Amino acid sequence: MPKYMTIWGRSQSAPWPTDPAQAKQLDERTFAFIDEALKSGRILEVGWFAEGTSGYSISPGEDAKGILTGTFATHPWAQYEVQEIIDHETAKETELQVLEPLKSP
């Protein structure tokens, strides 16, 4: 099954609350969303980058459509870059197959 890495970051154009109590509420909802996705297996791993407003997640999926469902669920609060992960053995095998006909005589 394919895996996808999503690099996410806080959207600067989102309507972020300025009231600390509202900001805490939004954070609690976000953490609950992430916790549920981890528990259900929709996300395999999640981490935050040290600057505190961005991070990554690793998710399983049949195709990118399932990943898009998750990213749309948090719009407009975050921006995303989604990449399919190709494991080392598959990448190595594919590259060697492509290069095989190009061998020097």
For the entire predicted model, the pTM comes to 0.78
Per-residue pLDDT, 68: 72
Determine contact, residues 12/75, Cβ cutoff 8 Å. no
How far is CA 31 from each of CA 2, 91, 101, rounded to the nearest angstrom? 25, 34, 51
Per-residue pLDDT, 8: 92
Identify the helix (H) or strand (E) that includes residue 94.
helix 88-99
Per-residue pLDDT, 38: 94
Give the Cα separation of 13 and 28 in Å (integer): 20
DSSP string, 15-34: ----SHHHHHHHHHHHHHHH
> One digit per residue, pLDDT tens: the chain, 105 residues?
789 999 999 988 888 899 999 999 999 998 998 999 999 998 999 999 999 999 999 999 877 677 777 777 777 788 889 899 999 999 999 999 998 887 776
Per-residue pLDDT, 54: 95
Per-residue pLDDT, 105: 66
The secondary structure of residue 43, as a DSSP letter, is: -
Domains of the chain: 3-102 (3.30.70.1060)
Per-residue pLDDT, 71: 73
